[in-house]
Amino acid sequence: MAESDLRPLEGVAVAVVGAGIAGLTAARKLAKAGAIVQVFEKSRGIGGRLATRRTEGGPIDHGAQYFTAREPAFKAWVARAKLEGAAASWAPRGKDGEDDWLVGMPGMSGLVTALVDGYKVANEKRVTAIAEADGAMTLTFEDGTTIAGFQRVVVAVPAPQAATLVAPFGAPFERIGEAVMAPCWTLMLALDAPFDPGFDVVRDQGALQWIARASSKPGRQGDTLVAQASTAWSREHLEDAAESVTADLLAMLAAAVGPLPARRYEAVHRWRYALVEKAVGETFLLSSDGRIGVCGDWLVAPRVESAWASGDSLADAMVARTLQAAGA
Ligand SMILES: Cc1cc2nc3c(=O)[nH]c(=O)nc-3n(C[C@H](O)[C@H](O)[C@H](O)COP(=O)(O)OP(=O)(O)OC[C@H]3O[C@@H](n4cnc5c(N)ncnc54)[C@H](O)[C@@H]3O)c2cc1C
């Protein structure tokens, strides 16, 4: 096999926008194919909705709570993550369904750390525009700076943000508008004293769609709770102040589990684009010349596995398109 078949993107400059599991999965695969990959992420950390808040009362996962692995390729990847200590099984009291529940280690965001391999991530770099000129693409950032010279771009951000960034590239990206994403207000508590409501997880308690003793996950310290408001409640209260949402969610939680002990840490997080309500129904979208593509859970389903599969397949398609163009 020729060297160019093993590393078909050798020396090709690639920008990946978004350091969630979809973007980092694509980045790793493209780097393995020889590309010079740079990931740009608007926030200070990586993982996106695989998010862990470090608090004085222990770590709290405030985005995805757990994930499952159904397809062979993702199962194999998870098996490796488990061996490397980046994932573990979680069997909470109240678990439903037959699937093995999995969590990142030592927090959900830990799941993606092993994906940062062969490329760099630039944090606090929000991409505001992507433009093409003279056969290469230029990224513009929130602070007005630009970086030019990318031969491929992967956009791995939630649908509404992706739509804005790839609008100049026309079809097939018009389909992004088909995705609908739902918000989720999430309450995080670290308690002063041990607290056992008699379950580790429970769904659908009034306007709370999920309550978890977050500290029942493997390797977590402290006594921590997470409560997620339903989509309907989160939509209705989307623009409410954090203080009033905290008071509302605390009252709903106390109604479900009884009086709460004193708190060492108490905060809410508003996920504006939390869960996919309607997916596009494709694994990824790629321009006809194969040079710019989008990936993410919102193309497939509201699951970590779907985001991974979307990033993985987009990278494969970009490599295949390059091989085709080279006449391999
Ligand atoms: C509250 C909640 C509960 C969930 N529960 C579960 C669950 O139980 N099981 C499950 O399987 N899944 C669950 N999910 C869904 C799961 O988290 C997602 O499917 C998955 O993490 C999506 O990964 P992604 O890479 O597609 O997107 P994201 O994780 O959203 O990554 C996108 C990244 O892009 C960055 N970004 C956005 N715009 C820009 C920009 N302009 N420039 C640069 N960077 C940008 C973001 O900061 C983010 O880091 C949950 C999600 C939430 C929020």
For residue 50, the CA-to-ligand 1 centroid distance in Å is 6
Average pLDDT over residues 212-228: 96
> Is the CB of residue 310 less than 8 Å from the CB of residue 299?
yes
From the list 42, 13, 44, 18, the residue with the least C-alpha distance to 141 is 42
Ligand 1: which residue has its CA nearest to atom 51? 64
Is 0.85 topped by the overall pTM?
yes
Backbone angles phi, psi at 305, to 5 degrees: -60, -40
- Average pLDDT of 162-179? 95
**pLDDT band for position 135 (cuts 50, 70, 90):** confident
pLDDT at 5: 61
Give pLDDT, residue 328: 63
Q: Which pLDDT value is given to residue 24?
A: 98
* C-alpha 64 – ligand 1 centre gap (Å): 8
Three-state DSSP class for 226? Answer: strand
pLDDT at residue 327, as a whole number: 79
Residue nearest (by alpha carbon) to ligand 1 atom 18: 304
Instruction: For residues 255 and 293, state if they share a domain.
Output: no
Q: Is the pLDDT of residue 33 over 60?
A: yes
**Residue 273, amino acid:** Y
Instruction: Provide the domain limits for residue 19.
Output: 3-46+116-179+279-325
Among 60, 95, 155, 157, residue to substitute to test ligand 1 (most atoms within 8 Å of Cβ): 157
Mean pLDDT, rounded, of the chain: 96
Shared domain check, 96 and 224: yes
* Residue 197 clears pLDDT 80, i.e. is over it: yes
Q: What is the CATH number of the domain that holds 173?
A: 3.50.50.60
Both 103 and 199 in one domain: the answer is: yes
pLDDT of residue 285: 98
- Based on the fold, state whether residues 187 and 319 are members of the same structural domain: no
Cα–Cα distance for residue pair 82/79, rounded to 1 Å: 5
Tell me the one-letter amino acid at 270. Answer: R
Domain boundary among 278, 293, 315: 278
CATH number at residue 229: 3.90.660.10
Q: Is the CB of 12 under 6 A from ligand 1?
A: no
Ligand 1 geometric centre to CA of 55 (Å): 21
When divided into structural domains, the chain yields a total of: 2
Q: Are residues 132 and 158 in the same domain?
A: yes
Q: Which of 278, 296, 312 is the last residue of a domain?
A: 278
Regarding predicted confidence, which is higher, 170 or 247?
247
Strand-pair category, 152-155 with 292-294: parallel
State the chain's maximal CA–CA distance in angstroms: 68
